[in-house]
Amino acid sequence: MARLILALETSCDETSAAILQDGTEILSNIISSQIDVHKKFGGVVPEVASRKHLELINGVIKEALEQAGTDFSRLSAVAVTYGPGLVGALLVGVAAAKAIAYAKDIPLLGVNHLEGHLYANFLVEPGLEFPLLCLVVSGGHTDLVVMSGHGSYQVVGRTRDDAAGEAFDKVARTLELGYPGGPLIDRLATQGDEDAVVLPRAYLEKGSLDFSFSGLKSAVINYRHRSLQRGEEIDRADLAASFQRAVVDVLVDKTLEAAVRFDVQTVLLAGGVAANRRLRDALALGCSNRGLRLVIPPPVLCTDNAAMIACASYYKFLRGDFAPLTLNAVPGLKLGEEKY
């Protein structure tokens, strides 16, 4: 009989529910974005996010079941993101999943949000062979992760300050583009010259696989302020393109260096910033020049969604790694850590 997993994702500003069959086939992946609500505040307001999740969660679950042509009685398990993320937002998904697990007497699976991002790649290619190197770039994280098996992670590089997505969002705010900044910079940059503005790239000490984007972000903000003070008009497309290029250069260089150092032949890209076209193209070129295989999920599976959570949970299900009904939200959960 087919194994159906219902997964819920409510860690930030998307309320999402998905049904996955046998770990590979997405029967539904409903994503209700709250972007329009948070846009007026220029960023995610945690209290508003939790309230919105509460309003949306039951309808999103219902739609996921309907679109998959199934109902609660046919589920093999229910999975949920329990961290990292906004505590009030996470709690909505965790409470809903626990209620379903209890009422239907099915196993509960607790998934790390970052693990979900990594596993979006297994939706694209279920047969990926280890070891794998994954660049996880989201609004809250920029990590280089070596995966030596299912559920086995070694973080070999991380950001020391801002995450890549955070830098995109802050620069977009400076350029008065709106929220969320990543997709807007991605679009505007196509009209700009990426060599127009000279910006710093932080490679840190020799051999380091860590990242730092706060210097670059400040350089863009200062450039903008200086031009405003002088009353000069800046070309926002040029500045967006130059900023994006500086981020992409460092991300790609360090990823390729890590692949060599850890002797990994297959590279994965994950997280919201993985939707960035410039990054996708540059990493594809770098990997092909070095004979490395690259897997990148389609953009809809890069940004927050429950299908990726379902996929990560499927391998936990196979291992019998079930969470107790006392599962709680863990806002600061680290990759590879299990807190239940």
The site for Zn ion (CB under 5 A) is made up of 138, 304
**Among 38-46, 56-64, 135-143, 216-224, the segment contacting ligand KG4 (CB under 6 A):** 135-143
For residue 112, state whether it binds ligand KG4 (rule: CB under 6 A). Answer: no
Question: Smallest distance, Å, CB 199 to ligand KG4?
Answer: 16
Q: Helix (H) and strand (E) counts for the chain?
A: 11, 10
Residues 64 and 30: their CA atoms lie apart, in Å, by 6
- Which DSSP state fits 273? G
Strand blocks (E) in 95-216: 108-112, 132-137, 142-149, 152-158
Q: Which runs of E-coded beta strand occur in 51-151?
A: 77-83, 108-112, 132-137, 142-149
Partner touching 75 among ligand KG4, Zn ion, none, CB below 5 to 8 Å by kind: none
Tell the smallest beta-carbon distance from residue 256 to ligand KG4 (Å): 20
Alpha carbons 159 and 58: distance in angstroms, whole number: 36
Nearer to ligand KG4, 157 or 271 (CB): 271
**Binder of ligand KG4 out of 83, 107, 110, 139 (CB under 6 A):** 139
Q: Rounded to 5 degrees, what are φ and ψ at 225? A: -65, -40
Judged by CB under 6 A, does residue 119 bind ligand KG4? no
Partner interacting with residue 303 (select from ligand KG4, Zn ion, none; CB below 5-8 Å by kind) = ligand KG4
The reply to whether omega before 297 is within 30° of 0 (cis) is no
Taking the complex as a whole, how short is the minimal distance between the CB of residue 117 and Zn ion, in angstroms?
6
Select the binding partner of residue 181 from Zn ion, ligand KG4, none (C-beta < 5 to 8 A, by kind). Answer: ligand KG4
The two most distant CA atoms of the chain are separated, in Å, by 69
Q: Residue 210 or 304: which CB sits closer to Zn ion?
A: 304
What is the Cα–Cα distance from 340 to 330, expressed in whole angstroms? Answer: 9
**Is residue 304 at the binding interface for ligand KG4, with CB under 6 A as the rule?**
yes
CB of 107 to ligand KG4, least distance (A): 25
Query: Is the CB of residue 301 less than 8 Å from the CB of residue 116?
Result: no
The residue within the footprint of ligand KG4, chosen from 169, 194, 210, 238 (CB under 6 A), is: 169
Sole binder of ligand KG4 in the list 10, 159, 255, 303 (CB under 6 A): 303
Q: Is 276 in the site for ligand KG4 (CB under 6 A)?
A: yes
Collapse the DSSP code of 326 into the 3-class scheme (helix H, G, I; strand E, B; otherwise coil) and give the result.
coil
| Site map 2..21 versus ligand KG4, x via CB under 6 A | ----------x---------
Report phi then psi at 176, rounded to 5.
Answer: 55, 45
Nearer to ligand KG4, 70 or 121 (CB): 121
Residues 279-298 that bind ligand KG4 (CB under 6 A): none
Residue window 172-191: x/- pattern of binding to ligand KG4, with contact defined by CB under 6 A:
--------xxxx--x-----
CA distances to 13, 22, 255, 292 from 123, rounded to whole Å, are 22, 11, 22, 20
Q: How far is CA 158 from the centre of its chain?
A: 14
Of 64, 108, 259, 273, the residue at the interface with ligand KG4 (CB under 6 A) is: 273
Is residue 153 part of the contact set for ligand KG4 (CB under 6 A)?
no
Identity of residue 314: Y
Other beta carbons within 10 Å of 336 = 15
Shortest approach of Zn ion to residue 137 CB, angstroms? 10
Q: How is the beta sheet containing 108-112 ordered, strand by strand?
A: 25-33, 14-21, 4-9, 77-83, 108-112
The residues binding ligand KG4 (CB under 6 A) are 12, 138-140, 165, 168-169, 180-183, 186, 271-273, 275-276, 303-304
